[in-house]
Amino acid sequence: MDNIPSMIEEAKFFFHSQKYAKAEELFKKVVAQRKEFADIHNFLGLIAHEEGRYSEAVKCFTQALKINPRYTEAMLNLSILYNDLGQHDNAKKLVSQSRKDAQAKKRAAMDPFIRSKLANKHADVADWYKGVGLFKEAVDEYKRALYLEEGYADIRTRMGVCLREMGDTKGAIEELKKAVSTRDKCVDAHIQLGITKYALGKRQEARKVWQDASKKFPSNTIIKMYCKLTEK
């Protein structure tokens, strides 16, 4: 068996010197012996793309991502290739996925206790902004909190209320629906979603939200009060 580390270093030297034929030959020798190197498949994809062998390039980048689904560089290289091929929808999906993965890595690298503390600190600052009517500033802080802990339904609910007060009812409903769908039992998320729909004149939709909430929280008197509001 050839010395794989030496072959890889030599192939990379040729690649960066734009001597693609020699680089490709060595990279393929490495792959023939060891198929699990995602970065080698990525290099082969770059060479194939550069030389106009697009279908081959797609296979190489796809193989790199099969080995390492969170390989950001290969994901972006494949999205660029898709754009060149006019497959813009596929390109957008990959870019979106790469951003999500990058954020997930950053969150995962932080100690969970510190992450939770920072999220709550951002939420506290947001509450102050919200209290004095600075809703845009509050939303920015809530977003920072949710970046750290996206599953906090109470924080998402407060952000939804701010969006509603800013006149962004579509955004408010979207965030409140997310809050309602989390596993946390956030009563206020259901209440505020109903209020938002009611304020838009969607009386029956609001009634359904509150009725569903009443089944989940049968002892909550506030929800019962709102249910009666829609009976008139």
Residues 71 and 102 in one domain: yes
Written as six digits, the tokens of 204 are 């029956």
Residues 49 and 136 in one domain: no
Written as six digits, the tokens of 5 are 């580390």
Mean pLDDT score across all residues of the chain: 85
DSSP secondary structure letter of residue 208 = H
- Among the three residues 89, 109, 129, which one is the final residue of a domain in this structure? 109
CB 200 within 8 A of CB 170: no
Residues 96 and 182 in one domain: no
Residues 187 and 104 in one domain: no
Count of domains observed in the chain: 2
Residues 104 and 126 in one domain: no
Q: Give CA 4 to chain center in angstroms.
A: 37
**What does the pLDDT look like over 173-217, one tens digit per residue?**
999 999 999 876 789 999 999 999 998 999 999 999 999 999 999
Query: What DSSP string describes 47-71?
Result: HHHHTT-HHHHHHHHHHHHHH-TT-
Residues 99 and 196 in one domain: no
Q: According to DSSP H, which parts of the chain are helical?
A: 4-16, 20-33, 38-50, 54-67, 72-84, 88-109, 112-131, 135-148, 153-165, 169-181, 187-199, 203-216, 221-229
Residues 100 and 124 in one domain: no
Which range marks the domain in which residue 157 is found? 112-229
Residues 206, 213: Cα–Cα separation, whole Å: 11
- Among the three residues 58, 74, 109, which one is the final residue of a domain in this structure? 109
- CATH at 105: 1.25.40.10
Residue tagged 């390989």 (tokens): 71
**What does the pLDDT look like over 15-29, one tens digit per residue?**
888 899 999 999 999
**What does the pLDDT look like over 74-95, one tens digit per residue?**
877 888 887 777 877 765 666 5
The segment with the largest mean pLDDT, out of 32-36, 64-68, 98-102, 200-204, is: 200-204
Radius of gyration of the chain (CA): 26
Residues 156 and 181 in one domain: yes
CB 4 within 8 A of CB 34: yes
Whether the per-residue pLDDT at 106 is higher than 80: the answer is no
Residues 148, 12: Cα–Cα separation, whole Å: 38
Residues 122 and 97 in one domain: no
Residues 93 and 125 in one domain: no
- Among the three residues 66, 91, 109, which one is the final residue of a domain in this structure? 109
Indicate the pLDDT class of residue 1, thresholds 50, 70 and 90: very low
